[in-house]
Structure 1
């Protein structure tokens, strides 16, 4: 058994321990060292007594099932400290500690545009989702969506029909593909991209899981395209999360008589980019989404670049959402004045930017 992965599964199995808490903990101790700490030190890290017990005496049947699942072909479990963990997703608040992946995990780090929309879409909306996905795939951009009926499914199929790559993020475990009519589509996605979930593989779909899935869809992507969305729609949740994560939001305008276009039209009123072609999306997201797959850095190169950057621990905790100096000092366990000096140096190097509320990672072309 992989000791590091077992330690990560132990940590992930601790109840009521969210992604933000895990990020703070692993800044101070790797998961494999946590069980060696005394209870008083675990309590200082924020563990409650029941959580300490769960960490020390986990349900090994859960861990064994995960390890067995991971041992099968084309399956991976990627932790936050794994160099294959997608960089953009790592920057969001509450990034999933573990990703269960079926397919090619390297696809997660390629430039992506998410396409989302109504499950009960119009024929025109379905056609547009397919066409935009097909065109994005032809530009070597990965199409990411949620495998739902309607727009999601047509977006995945459009990318596949173009011979491109696509990622489906599930609101269930990967052994419980939902919805069932898309099980064949899920197999095709696995062969030409990846299925992804943060849930135990055997987890059934639940309503509470889908907003969590949506944050991963937007977190993986450079931008989110909303094709059709009603006023009360999960797609609007994805769009809101994308804005909070510093991503671009695009929307296709729809007829004022189409109830499934009222949400996407509302997004345009609120400042989303109105687009009529893929070229407009690629122009806005710039070089990152326009890069060819062959020009992507491999994992080894990315690690070397990361090691060469100054103050890597601090830099790893500055993402697309503003974090104040006090919070960064607490996470990194360093005095505030030292953090301020380091942030100033990083700002002079163009690696971070000062914004209202703290600092964010600078966007670089």
Structure 2
């Protein structure tokens, strides 16, 4: 379980103006954790901006209490860069987040993902293509990730859910807010079977500069980015550029030369993005990277167990492990929600997420919509 004081220390740091993800990560590594970093900042106030010093001297206790209240929900989590199940693919980013607020199943962030992005004002053919590709890619084993925006993003999320698969939405507001407001129902569906992810604490409003920052996380989580209908100055091109800089695959759908929303895709293709016409092309292109990520996660979970090393050692044979057996016994063979497994096993959501991922990689457990899991007979 996460220590309550440590969690509060993290929230203090995440809300400190001017600190930023890069400095926070560096400080955590050098100072030995959140408490050590806070102590060091207290002794070196000149290292902070005036706003940062004012915040740490007199933090807004109501905001911190709100953060803690939000995190108290069973399906809410602060996923920290020091956690064992923090997505390893984010570490390849030049400016990875220090922590993510997650509503839903945080373990989904470890799966092979494909981002689908595009114009907010997408035309009917673009929306249809977003739905067709999202449904096929989700059914083909890739988790569809997007930004919950109007247009292509919303169509992709909805199509993945309609195909019976989870989807991940990375948003530019706090995890307790929905932007645009018209997507409240869609956001609820995503949270129930997938995950809503934010770098920003609860209560954060939609600000223009948040969305390019959000885009870098979409690109970082994904093995590849598919752009469907984008103007030449579209935010989707920012996501595609960030994906290319991170060594990810960039795919683009061609369109009519008379459609201004095809100009961004054509520019991407001219710059070296892969022209695609069918979902199978993307599945084939990303299969090697997906297998590599799966192998990396398997090795990582075996090296870094979900509970203290003194009890598990460096490698683990889960078939001989008491807690894995207790988890499987608690599951039975009927679909089991994660929060029910927490109550039945006494294990933390983070530990269970890691163990369930290990069992999924071993072919023993299958994830289901609604943040549920079922043993494979």
TM-score by length of 2: 0.75
Farther-moved stretch of structure 1 (3-12 vs 261-270): 3-12
> What's the counterpart of residue 272 of structure 2?
271
- For the 8 Å contact 1:138–1:162, the answer to whether it is kept is yes
Instruction: Deviation per CA, 1:258-315: give whole Å up to 9, x if none.
Output: 111110111000100111122222232232336898996397436259997xxxxxxx
SS of equivalent residue, structure 1 residue 143? strand
Query: How many residues are matched?
Result: 307
Structure 1 residues 166 and 299, CA gap change in structure 2 (3 angstroms):
farther
- For the 8 Å contact 1:20–1:93, the answer to whether it is kept is no
1:22: how far off? 1.4
- How far apart in 2 are the matches of 1:188 and 1:208? 27
Residue 34 of structure 2 corresponds to residue 31 of structure 1 = yes
Flag structure 1 segments of 5+ consecutive residues without an equivalent.
309-365
SS of equivalent residue, structure 1 residue 167? strand
Structure 1 residues 175 and 143, CA gap change in structure 2 (3 angstroms):
same
- How far apart in 1 are the matches of 2:128 and 2:273? 21
Instruction: Deviation per CA, 1:76-131: give whole Å up to 9, x if none.
Output: 11111112221112331222222111110000111000000011112111111111
SS of equivalent residue, structure 1 residue 211? helix
Residue 24 of structure 2 corresponds to residue 22 of structure 1 = yes
- For the 8 Å contact 2:18–2:51, the answer to whether it is kept is no
- How far apart in 1 are the matches of 2:97 and 2:294? 25
Instruction: Deviation per CA, 1:150-169: give whole Å up to 9, x if none.
Output: 11111111111111121011
- For the 8 Å contact 1:84–1:299, the answer to whether it is kept is no
Pairing of 1:198-347 with structure 2 (within 5 A): 198-289=199-290, 297=298, 300-301=301-302, 303=304
- For the 8 Å contact 2:172–2:198, the answer to whether it is kept is yes
SS of equivalent residue, structure 1 residue 73? coil
Pairing of 1:140-219 with structure 2 (within 5 A): 140-219=141-220
- How far apart in 2 are the matches of 1:291 and 1:242? 18
- How far apart in 2 are the matches of 1:188 and 1:241? 28
1:56: how far off? 5.1
- How far apart in 2 are the matches of 1:216 and 1:198? 9
- For the 8 Å contact 2:140–2:283, the answer to whether it is kept is no
> What's the counterpart of residue 71 of structure 2?
70
Structure 1 residues 302 and 112, CA gap change in structure 2 (3 angstroms):
farther
- How far apart in 1 are the matches of 2:303 and 2:289? 15
TM-score by length of 1: 0.77
- How far apart in 1 are the matches of 2:96 and 2:292? 25
> What's the counterpart of residue 5 of structure 2?
3
Structure 1 residues 109 and 90, CA gap change in structure 2 (3 angstroms):
same
- For the 8 Å contact 1:88–1:220, the answer to whether it is kept is yes
- For the 8 Å contact 2:117–2:227, the answer to whether it is kept is yes
